[in-house]
Structure formats: C-alpha cells, structure tokens
C-alpha cells in the first residue's frame, strides 16, 4: 500500500507524521471519505469542495489548489492500482508545539490513504438494519458546527459506543432539545405519508454528499421531499427509514429501539433510491485509468 503524505509516497509501515502534529495532539484538522466505483471517483469535486469549505471554517489553509488535490487523489489511486476503493483524505494543522496556538503550525499536513472498505454486511442491505437511539447528544452547532467535517470525532465515537453496547451497528444522535440530528456516521431519512423527510443540517447534522445525492434523486423521481425537524415519535411512526453515507451508501433500517419500522422490511421508496443510486455511481464523478 502506498500512502501519500505531503507530495511523497510511503509504504504503510513507513507512513508517519510528527507526534507534534496538531491533528494528533488536538484533532485539529479536516477530512473526507470518498468512494470509487470501477475507476470512477464518485462526486469527487463535491467532496473536495466540502473539504476546503471545512478548512475555511476552521481557518486552516490547505497548501495546494483544489485541482492539485484532485490530481493527488487520482495519483494515489493509480499508485495502489485500485478500481473500487475507499479514499481517506486528511488535512491537519501541521507540526507545532504542545500549546494550542495554531500560529505555531507553519504548514498543513496532507495525507491520502486509499484502501478497501466494507461498512456493513451485504445481508443488512437486503434485510435492513437494527439501530438504537444514542444517550450521547449531538454537539451544539453553536459550539461546533456539524457541517464541519473535522478530525475531532469524539462526539460521534461516544455515540458509536452506545450502539456497540446495545448490540447494534448504528445509533441516532439527538440534539440537546430532543430533535433528530443524524447517526454516528450517516445521515437519516424517513418516508412518512409518501413524503421523503430528513433533518436540516443547521441543527447539527453533516451536509452529506450521499445525502445530497439522494435529494437530487428524489427530485428526478418526482418524490415529495422536505427538510423537517423530526422527533423520535416521527421516526418510530415512519413507513420507511434509511441511512445515507459515503461508506454506507443507502441502507434500510427496519427496527429502532426494538420498535419495528413499517412492515419490518426495506420499503419500496428505499429500494428504488438504492437502485437509482447504483446507476448514479457509474456516471457522477471523475474517471481515471491505469
């Protein structure tokens, strides 16, 4: 495996950063998870735009242009001869000292890792996922905007631990005032009375790339769609529930907190969107060749 660090490739065993890098010391940085499908990097431009938007939000200057970043991603995929891959693109504040002051970090560190990923077993896409509501609440957006995809994922990790302790794979995170925000690594959608609904991003949810793709698909399919503040009662009463994310893609949910959703099987709207999303992954992105 060849890993890109600041313009050079290193073997996995020799890929290292300084212990004084503020990405390690303080989680000071941003990242993206990106998928490739048969040599097509799905929505690469949108991912790169979000990366730079997140960096701007924390006043982190990325030491290369967006075009150079895209070229570096493609170069890393080619170096590893991967057609179907998961890309982890990381930009840290860089090497500083033991203090918080970001001015001590003279240059950001850029890391690109390409590998395989399987988030959920295939059977979950066929039969649906069982999830729970996390006891851990989502960060207040006034404290840390959920639209920033930062390296500080402790809030999500604590909620993931809630899921693990319950024996499930995922957990819904609520806001401090009991509204549905998102899951630990995915956005959430429900189908209610033929309407497709998802929480607005300004309450603490990530503005997901796959989330946006599903919204686009809903428009193409003339599905009524709305962003709406949701309580858990709305989710429990939904006819269908599904999650979206780069690694997860679109995955049905059939039980939440031991309550069956709909008829306990993946619904027709979810299955249609899954089908259309697969088509989208063949055309919507940047293609590369070895």
Tokens 């899951």 label which residue? Answer: 183
- The answer to whether the beta carbons of residues 36 and 81 sit under 8 Å apart is no
The counts of H helices and E strands in the chain are 8, 16
User: Is 160 part of the annotated catalytic residue set?
Assistant: no
Task: For 118-152, give the secondary structure using H, E and C.
Answer: CCCCHHHHHHCEEEEECCCCCCCCCCCCCCCCECC
Catalytically annotated residue among 53, 66, 149, 255: 149
Q: How far apart are CA 60 and CA 79, in angstroms?
A: 28
Give the contacts of 135 (CB within 8 A, at least 6 positions apart): 162
Q: How far apart are CA 245 and CA 226, in angstroms?
A: 19
Q: What is the DSSP letter of 175?
A: -
Residue 112, SS3 per DSSP: strand
- Which residues are marked as active site? 149
């Amino acid at each position: 495996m060849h890993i890109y660090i600041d313009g050079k490739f290193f073997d996995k065993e020799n890929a290292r950063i300084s212990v004084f890098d503020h990405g390690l010391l303080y989680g000071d940085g941003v990242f993206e998870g990106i998928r490739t499908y048969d040599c097509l990097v799905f929505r690469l431009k949108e991912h790169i735009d979000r990366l730079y938007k997140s960096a701007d939000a924390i006043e982190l200057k990325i030491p290369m242009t967006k075009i150079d970043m895209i070229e570096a991603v493609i170069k890393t995929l080619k170096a590893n001869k991967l057609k179907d891959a998961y890309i982890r693109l990381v930009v840290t504040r860089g090497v500083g000292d033991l203090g918080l002051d970001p001015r001590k970090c003279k240059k950001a560190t850029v890391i690109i890792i390409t590998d395989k990923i399987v988030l959920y077993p295939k059977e979950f896409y066929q039969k649906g996922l069982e999830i729970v509501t996390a006891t851990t609440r989502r960060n207040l957006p006034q404290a840390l905007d959920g639209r920033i995809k930062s390296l500080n994922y402790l809030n999500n990790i604590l909620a993931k631990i809630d899921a693990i302790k319950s024996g499930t794979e995922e957990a819904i995170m609520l806001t401090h005032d009991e509204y549905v925000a998102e899951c630990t690594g995915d956005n959430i959608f429900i189908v209610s009375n033929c309407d497709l609904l998802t929480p607005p991003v300004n309450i603490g949810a990530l503005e997901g790339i796959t989330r946006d793709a599903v919204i686009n698909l809903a428009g193409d399919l003339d599905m009524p769609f709305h962003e709406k503040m949701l309580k858990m009662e709305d989710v429990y009463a939904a006819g269908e529930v599904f999650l979206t994310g780069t690694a997860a893609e679109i995955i049905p949910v059939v039980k939440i907190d031991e309550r069956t959703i709909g008829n306990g099987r993946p619904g027709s709207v979810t299955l249609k969107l899954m089908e259309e999303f697969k088509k989208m992954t063949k055309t919507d992105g940047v293609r590369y060749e070895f």
